[in-house]
Amino acid sequence: MSNQKSSKTLNIVLWIAQVILAIMFFMAGTTHATQPIEKLATQLPWAAQVPALVRFIGISELLGATGVILPALLRIKPNLTPLAALGLALLMLCASVFHLFRGEVSNVPVTIILGLIALFVAWGRFRKRPIRGRGSKVGNHEEVRMAIKS
């Protein structure tokens, strides 16, 4: 019984983490993908130097925000959710390195925290609490594999 309760608790915590990631990356992605570069450059001095990178980052953030929620929520290709979380973790690793090279150390803790949350979601949705797709039958190979591991 307690294993079932802890499994349910983990599922709730994973959903909360997914929502946090989706909100954070949707807001950042919208800003990076849509605001004029001149306006962004007042907040991000490097934006004027590499505008294509800013747009690429914004689109990646929007795709990650969508991917970390929608496939799991709709239960259509839910295996895309942990992949999106891995993509966001990789994006945050790159952001951390980028900010360190530019001497913007104060930006690194946020990227590390978001990256760790994304890794937690990827781990949880790959290993501990994967979401079954619509039409998945009880006893499919994934469930059998999970039952053997337990």
pLDDT, tens only, 38-61: 999 998 888 888 899 999 999 999
Range of the domain at 76: 2-149
**How many distinct structural domains can be found in the chain?**
1
Q: Where are the alpha helices (DSSP H) in 1-150?
A: 2-34, 37-43, 51-67, 70-74, 80-101, 108-123, 141-149
State the greatest distance between any 2 C-alpha atoms of the chain, in Å, as a whole number: 57
**Other Cβ atoms closer than 10 A to 63:** 15
Tell me what percent of the residues of the chain surpass a pLDDT of 70: 89
What confidence score (pLDDT) does residue 59 get? 97
Structure tokens at 20: 């946090």
Q: What is the pTM of this model?
A: 0.84
Range 130-136 average pLDDT: 81
Whole-angstrom CA distances from 18 to 1, 49, 59, 66, 70 are: 26, 32, 18, 10, 10
